[in-house]
C-alpha cells in the first residue's frame, strides 16, 4: 500500500457551510488558487446545484485549476449529478462526489428502506461514472450505520464504478480506535477494496477530528478530507494544517507523505480567516497566534539554549518569519511591500497603494506598526461596491447620562447624518446605524481582540448578524474600538444586503436550503 496520503480540501464547500462563513465569487477563486499552489490534491469547490452562484464558482475554478483535481458535490439523484458534471467538466482533472445518508436516522429522511437505498446508490454511482471516470461516493453518517448495511453499500458503490470511497464521521461521533478499525475492516472484507482509495471525513464535535483522521490513515485510508483552520459546521472539520504537520513531524510513527508545501500554511490560514470572518483562536494548533509564543521563564530559557526544547517544529516550516521588525511612519512603500511579501501577501500596485494609504494613517496614530497590525489592515473586508460606508463618527461617553453617537453614513452614494443614544458607546453607534439604515437583522456575535500590546493597539472587531435565516459576518480593525465596531457592523450589513438581493423572489438562489448539502 502506498504511503502517499491525498489531501482533499473542502474549505470552499463544507467549510463555507459554517454559519456566517459564506464567501464571495472572487474570494472563492482566490482561495482555490492558493490551495492549488499549496499542493492540495483535490479541491471540493462547491455544491453546484445549490445556486447559480455556486455553479459559476465551481465552473470557473475548474477552468482555472492547474494541478489539483476539481470536485463538486451532488446528492444521490440524476439532476444533482448532471449539474455537478456541467460545472466540473471544464477541469483537466474533474471529479464528481455524490453522497447519501446511510444510518437509520438519515435513511428516515428520504423514507427509503435498505433495498431502495441500495438501488439508489447503484443507479447514481453508475450514472456519475458514465459521465466522469473519477467518482467519489460517500456514506453520510457512516460511523452510525449498521456494519452489514455499510459493507453492502460500499460494495455496491465499488461495483458501480466509484474510484474513491469516503467514510464520513458526519457528527464527530467516533473515536480513534473505532476510526482505524472501521477502515481496516472495510478494506479486508469488501470485494475489490484494493481497487479504490478509502477516504476519511471527520467532524470535531468531540474534539477528535484530527486524531480520528490520522487513525483512519493508519487503518488504510489514503485520503483525508479537511479544511483550512478546521472551518466547518458546528465545531468544524478536520484541520488541514494539523494532519499535514502531524504526519510531517511524526514520521517515526506515521510514515506517510503529502504533496503540501507547508510554508504556505500561515498565509492561506490568514486569508481564509479574513474572507470567512472567523478569527483563528490564539491557542489553535499550528496557526494560532500563540502556537510559537513562549512567555514562561522556564520555556524562554529553554528556547534560548535550544529551540527544540519547547518546539517540535520550526515556525519557518509553516510560513512564519523568524523576526517581527516593526515599521513606522517614515517607512516607505518599498519597505511595506517587502514586509508584506515576507508575510506571504503578494500585491499588485493598485492594491498596495490602497494598503499603503491605510498603513500611513495607522502609522500616524501608532509609534510602531507590527506584523499583526499589517495583517489586520489587509483583513478589512469593505469594498467599493458597498452600499453603506462610514464617513464620520463622534461619540460622547462617560459615567453620567446616556452615551451619544453622531454619525455620517453614506447610503447608496448619499450622506445622511443622525444622533443616537445607547447603553454604552458601541450600543449608541449601532443605534445610529439602524436609524440611518433601518433593518431587522439581529446581532448574534460581537467580539473584540487586541491585535498587539499597548494602549495604542489596534482592536479587531468581529460582528455576526442574522436576518430571516441569512447570516453574515463583518470585520474591521482600528486603534479606536468604537470606530472598528461601527465598520465591522456596517461590513456585516453590506454582506446581508447582498444575500438579501440574491435570495429575493425570482433570484437564482430563492428557496435554496443547504441543510442536506454534505457529510
d(CA 393, CA 490) in angstroms, rounded, equals 13
Question: pLDDT band at 472, cuts 50/70/90?
Answer: confident
DSSP string, 329-380: TT--HHHHHHHHHHTT----HHHHHHHHHHHHHHHHH-S-B-HHHHHHHHT-
Query: Is pLDDT at 412 greater than 70 in this prediction?
Result: yes
pLDDT score of 502: 66
pLDDT score of 309: 59
d(CA 90, CA 188) in angstroms, rounded, equals 36
Same domain, 234 and 363: no
Q: Are 12 and 43 in contact (CB under 8 A)?
A: yes
Higher pLDDT, 493 or 505: 493
Query: Is pLDDT at 422 greater than 50 in this prediction?
Result: yes
Instruction: Please tell me the total count of domains within the chain.
Output: 3
Beta bridge partners of 467: 470
pLDDT score of 344: 73
Three-state DSSP state, 461:
strand
State pLDDT tens for residues 350-366. Answer: 888 888 888 888 888 77
d(CA 23, CA 25) in angstroms, rounded, equals 7
DSSP string, 273-308: HHHH--PPPTT-TTTSTTTT---SHHHHHHHHH-GG
If you average pLDDT over residues 496-514, what whole number do you get?
58
Question: pLDDT band at 329, cuts 50/70/90?
Answer: confident
Query: Is pLDDT at 96 greater than 60 in this prediction?
Result: yes
Same domain, 104 and 189: yes
Same domain, 112 and 247: yes
d(CA 91, CA 71) in angstroms, rounded, equals 9
Same domain, 95 and 244: yes
pLDDT score of 303: 42
pLDDT score of 511: 37
Same domain, 243 and 338: no
Same domain, 350 and 405: no
Phi-psi region of 468 (alpha: psi -120 to 50; beta: other; left: phi over 0): left
Mean pLDDT of the chain: 88
Question: pLDDT band at 460, cuts 50/70/90?
Answer: confident
Which of 216-230, 299-313, 362-376, 411-425 has the weakest average pLDDT?
A: 299-313
Residues 6+ apart with CB under 8 A from 170: 101, 140, 141, 142, 143, 144, 201, 203, 519
Domain boundary among 343, 378, 413: 378
Task: Flag whether 518 is in a domain.
Answer: no
pLDDT score of 382: 58
Question: pLDDT band at 504, cuts 50/70/90?
Answer: low
Same domain, 370 and 399: no
Three-state DSSP state, 428:
helix
Three-state DSSP state, 126:
helix
Query: Is pLDDT at 257 greater than 60 in this prediction?
Result: yes
Query: Is pLDDT at 507 greater than 50 in this prediction?
Result: no
Query: Is pLDDT at 453 greater than 90 in this prediction?
Result: no
Higher pLDDT, 495 or 133: 133
Task: Flag whether 340 is in a domain.
Answer: yes
Q: Which three cell numbers stand for residue 462?
A: 468581529
d(CA 472, CA 21) in angstroms, rounded, equals 7
d(CA 291, CA 297) in angstroms, rounded, equals 17
Annotated binding site for Mn(2+): 14, 201, 203, 237
d(CA 312, CA 295) in angstroms, rounded, equals 17
pTM recorded for the entire structure: 0.79
Q: Are 477 and 362 in contact (CB under 8 A)?
A: no
Annotated binding site: 14, 201, 203, 237
d(CA 74, CA 57) in angstroms, rounded, equals 15
Higher pLDDT, 37 or 16: 37
Residues 6+ apart with CB under 8 A from 482: 393, 395, 405, 425, 426, 429
Q: Give, for 45, the enclosing helix (H) or strand (E).
A: strand 42-46
Task: Flag whether 291 is in a domain.
Answer: no
- The CATH number of residue 50's host domain is 3.20.20.70
Query: Is pLDDT at 505 greater than 60 in this prediction?
Result: no
Same domain, 62 and 182: yes
Between the CA of residue 186 and those of 106, 147, 148, 154, 220, what are the distances in Å? Answer: 21, 9, 10, 8, 9
pLDDT score of 366: 76
Query: Is pLDDT at 35 greater than 70 in this prediction?
Result: yes
Phi-psi region of 69 (alpha: psi -120 to 50; beta: other; left: phi over 0): beta
3-state per-residue secondary structure call for 187-241? HHHCCCHHHCEEEEEEECCCCCHHHHHHHHHHCCCCEEEEEHHHCCCCCCECEHH
Task: Flag whether 260 is in a domain.
Answer: yes
If you average pLDDT over residues 144-149, what whole number do you get?
97
Same domain, 357 and 402: no
If you average pLDDT over residues 113-130, what whole number do you get?
97
Task: Flag whether 512 is in a domain.
Answer: no
pLDDT score of 297: 47
- The CATH number of residue 431's host domain is 3.30.160.270
Residue with cell 458535490: 73
Query: Is pLDDT at 503 greater than 80 in this prediction?
Result: no
State pLDDT tens for residues 42-59. Answer: 999 999 999 898 999 999
d(CA 260, CA 276) in angstroms, rounded, equals 22
pLDDT score of 66: 95
Query: Is pLDDT at 288 greater than 50 in this prediction?
Result: yes
Query: Is pLDDT at 206 greater than 50 in this prediction?
Result: yes
Domain boundary among 223, 256, 276: 276
pLDDT score of 420: 95
Task: Flag whether 306 is in a domain.
Answer: no
Same domain, 398 and 372: no
Q: Are 278 and 18 in contact (CB under 8 A)?
A: yes
Domain boundary among 212, 244, 276: 276
B/e letters for 287-311, b = 16+ CB within 10 Å, e = fewer, are beeebbebeeeeeeebbeeeeeeeb
If you average pLDDT over residues 194-218, what whole number do you get?
98
pLDDT score of 59: 97
Same domain, 218 and 184: yes
Query: Is pLDDT at 200 greater than 60 in this prediction?
Result: yes
State pLDDT tens for residues 290-304. Answer: 887 644 444 444 444
Distance from CA of residue 478 to its chain's centroid? 24
Task: Flag whether 129 is in a domain.
Answer: yes
DSSP string, 153-199: HHHHHHHTT-SEEEEEETTS---HHHHHHHHHHHHHHSTTGGGSEEE
Query: Is pLDDT at 515 greater than 50 in this prediction?
Result: no
State pLDDT tens for residues 244-254. Answer: 999 999 999 99
If you average pLDDT over residues 222-236, what whole number do you get?
96
The percent of residues in the chain predicted with pLDDT above 90, rounded, is 61
Same domain, 350 and 463: no
Q: Give the range of the structural domain holding residue 348, as residue numbers without chain letter.
A: 321-378
Which of 71-85, 216-230, 296-310 has the weakest average pLDDT?
A: 296-310
Task: Flag whether 287 is in a domain.
Answer: no
Q: Which three cell numbers stand for residue 115?
A: 433495498
Amino acid at each position: 500500500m502506498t504511503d502517499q496520503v491525498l489531501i482533499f480540501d473542502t474549505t470552499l464547500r463544507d467549510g463555507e457551510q459554517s454559519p456566517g462563513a459564506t464567501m464571495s465569487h472572487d474570494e472563492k477563486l482566490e482561495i482555490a488558487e492558493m490551495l492549488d499552489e499549496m499542493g492540495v490534491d483535490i479541491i471540493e469547490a462547491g455544491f453546484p446545484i445549490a445556486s447559480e452562484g455556486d455553479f459559476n464558482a465551481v465552473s470557473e475554478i475548474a477552468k482555472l485549476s492547474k494541478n489539483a483535481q476539481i470536485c463538486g458535490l451532488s446528492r444521490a439523484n440524476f439532476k444533482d449529478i448532471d449539474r455537478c458534471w456541467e460545472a466540473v467538466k471544464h477541469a483537466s482533472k474533474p471529479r464528481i462526489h455524490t453522497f447519501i445518508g446511510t444510518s437509520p436516522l438519515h435513511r428516515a429522511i428520504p423514507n427509503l428502506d435498505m433495498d431502495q437505498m441500495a438501488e439508489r446508490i447503484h443507479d447514481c454511482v453508475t450514472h456519475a461514472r458514465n459521465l466522469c471516470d473519477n467518482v467519489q461516493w460517500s456514506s453520510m453518517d457512516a460511523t452510525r450505520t449498521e456494519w452489514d448495511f455499510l459493507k453492502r453499500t460500499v460494495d455496491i458503490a465499488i461495483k458501480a464504478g466509484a474510484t474513491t470511497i469516503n467514510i464520513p464521521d458526519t457528527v464527530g461521533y467516533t473515536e480513534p480506535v473505532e476510526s482505524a478499525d472501521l477502515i481496516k475492516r472495510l478494506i479486508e472484507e469488501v470485494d475489490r477494496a484494493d481497487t479504490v482509495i478509502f477516504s476519511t471525513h471527520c467532524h470535531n464535535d468531540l474534539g477528535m477530528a484530527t486524531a480520528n483522521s490520522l487513525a483512519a490513515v493508519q487503518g488504510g485510508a489514503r485520503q483525508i478530507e479537511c479544511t483550512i483552520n478546521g472551518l466547518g459546521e458546528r465545531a468544524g472539520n478536520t484541520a488541514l494544517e494539523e494532519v499535514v504537520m502531524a504526519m510531517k513531524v511524526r514520521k517515526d510513527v506515521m510514515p506517510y507523505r503529502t504533496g503540501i508545501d507547508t510554508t504556505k500554511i500561515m498565509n492561506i490560514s490568514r486569508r481564509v480567516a479574513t474572507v470567512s470572518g472567523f478569527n483563528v483562536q490564539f491557542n489553535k494548533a499550528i496557526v494560532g497566534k500563540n502556537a510559537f509564543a513562549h512567555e514562561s521563564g522556564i520555556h524562554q530559557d529553554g528556547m534560548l539554549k535550544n529551540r527544540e526544547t519547547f518546539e517540535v517544529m520550526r515556525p519557518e516550516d509553516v510560513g512564519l518569519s523568524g523576526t517581527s521588525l516593526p515599521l513606522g511612519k517614515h517607512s516607505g512603500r518599498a519597505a511595506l511591500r517587502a514586509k508584506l511579501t515576507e508575510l506571504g501577501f503578494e500585491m499588485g500596485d493598485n492594491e498596495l497603494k490602497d494598503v499603503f494609504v491605510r498603513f500611513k494613517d495607522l502609522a500616524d496614530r501608532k509609534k510602531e506598526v507590527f506584523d499583526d497590525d499589517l495583517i489586520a489592515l489587509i483583513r478589512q473586508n469593505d469594498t467599493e461596491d458597498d452600499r453603506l460606508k462610514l464617513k464620520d463618527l463622534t461619540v460622547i461617553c462617560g459615567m453620567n447620562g446616556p452615551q451619544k453617537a453622531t454619525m455620517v453614513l453614506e447610503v447608496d452614494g448619499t450622506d445622511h447624518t443622525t444622533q443616537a443614544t445607547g447603553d454604552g458607546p458601541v450600543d449608541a453607534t449601532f443605534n445610529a446605524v439602524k436609524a440611518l439604515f433601518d433593518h431587522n437583522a439581529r446581532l448574534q456575535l460581537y467580539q473584540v481582540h487586541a491585535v498587539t500590546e499597548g494602549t495604542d493597539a489596534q482592536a479587531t472587531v468581529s460582528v455576526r448578524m442574522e436576518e430571516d435565516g441569512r447570516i453574515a459576518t463583518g470585520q474591521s480593525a482600528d486603534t479606536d474600538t468604537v470606530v472598528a465596531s461601527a465598520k465591522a457592523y456596517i461590513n456585516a450589513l453590506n454582506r446581508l444586503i447582498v444575500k438579501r438581493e440574491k435570495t429575493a423572489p425570482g433570484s437564482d438562489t430563492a428557496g435554496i436550503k443547504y441543510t442536506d448539502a454534505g457529510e
